[in-house]
């Protein structure tokens, strides 16, 4: 199985139009016979907006609860992209970090990935599904949602690619004019 992991950052997933470009990129990889895992960030400035929102409600930083709040940004992107893929006739499934098997330590807001339990993703790829994963998050051994800190979605993508022995891991930094640019 030729596995390609693609990661799309916040500016790349910021709008419906940019998600449509990403969908074309994903479908092109599928048409080449590749199995595709897509790791996504929160749309645009969503994470910054969630941090600001928390400050409107409380004066103290509560790292465990902040991880729960911040993880919702990536989940929004996962759901929207997965639904749009399905709308285009592409079999897809969205997973949060825990469902994707991303196991971390309990260092809230800057957790370290300890392991990736790759079985679920591999089984879904064998069913010919595009697997869309929320980057930036995982779960500790107690079942707590954790976040990996800034740049965590890139780290998620690389760790997943390594665990799956992927052929390629593509990190897309921007999506414009019907093309995706990676580095």
Give me 83's structure tokens. 């639904």
Mean pLDDT, to the nearest integer, of 87-112? 98
* pLDDT given at position 174: 72
Res 177 pLDDT > 80: no
Contacts of 9 (CB under 8 A, 6+ apart): 41, 153, 154, 171, 172, 173, 174
Contact (Cβ atoms closer than 8 angstroms) between residue 144 and residue 97: no
pLDDT tens digits, one per residue of 24-53: 999 999 999 999 999 999 999 999 999 999
For the domain made up of 3-182, give the CATH fold. Answer: Carbamate kinase (3.40.1160)
- Check whether 183 has a pLDDT greater than 50: no
* Mean pLDDT for the stretch of residues 76-89: 98
């Amino acid at each position: 199985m030729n596995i390609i992991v693609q990661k799309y950052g916040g500016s790349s997933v910021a709008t419906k139009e940019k998600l449509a470009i990403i969908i074309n990129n994903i479908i092109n990889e599928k048409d080449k016979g590749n199995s595709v895992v897509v790791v996504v960030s929160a749309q645009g400035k969503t994470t910054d907006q969630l941090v600001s929102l928390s400050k409107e409600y409380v004066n103290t930083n509560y790292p465990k609860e902040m991880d729960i709040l911040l993880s919702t940004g990536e989940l929004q992107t996962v759901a929207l992209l997965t639904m749009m893929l399905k709308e285009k006739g592409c079999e897809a499934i969205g997973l949060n970090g825990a469902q994707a098997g991303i196991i971390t330590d309990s260092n809230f807001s800057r957790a370290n990935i300890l392991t990736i339990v790759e079985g679920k993703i591999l089984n879904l790829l064998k069913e010919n599904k595009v697997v869309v994963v929320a980057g930036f998050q995982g779960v500790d051994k107690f079942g707590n949602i954790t976040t990996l800190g800034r740049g965590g979605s890139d780290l998620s993508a690389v760790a997943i690619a390594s665990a799956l022995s992927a052929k390629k891991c593509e990190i897309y930094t921007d999506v414009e004019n019907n093309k995706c640019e990676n580095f």
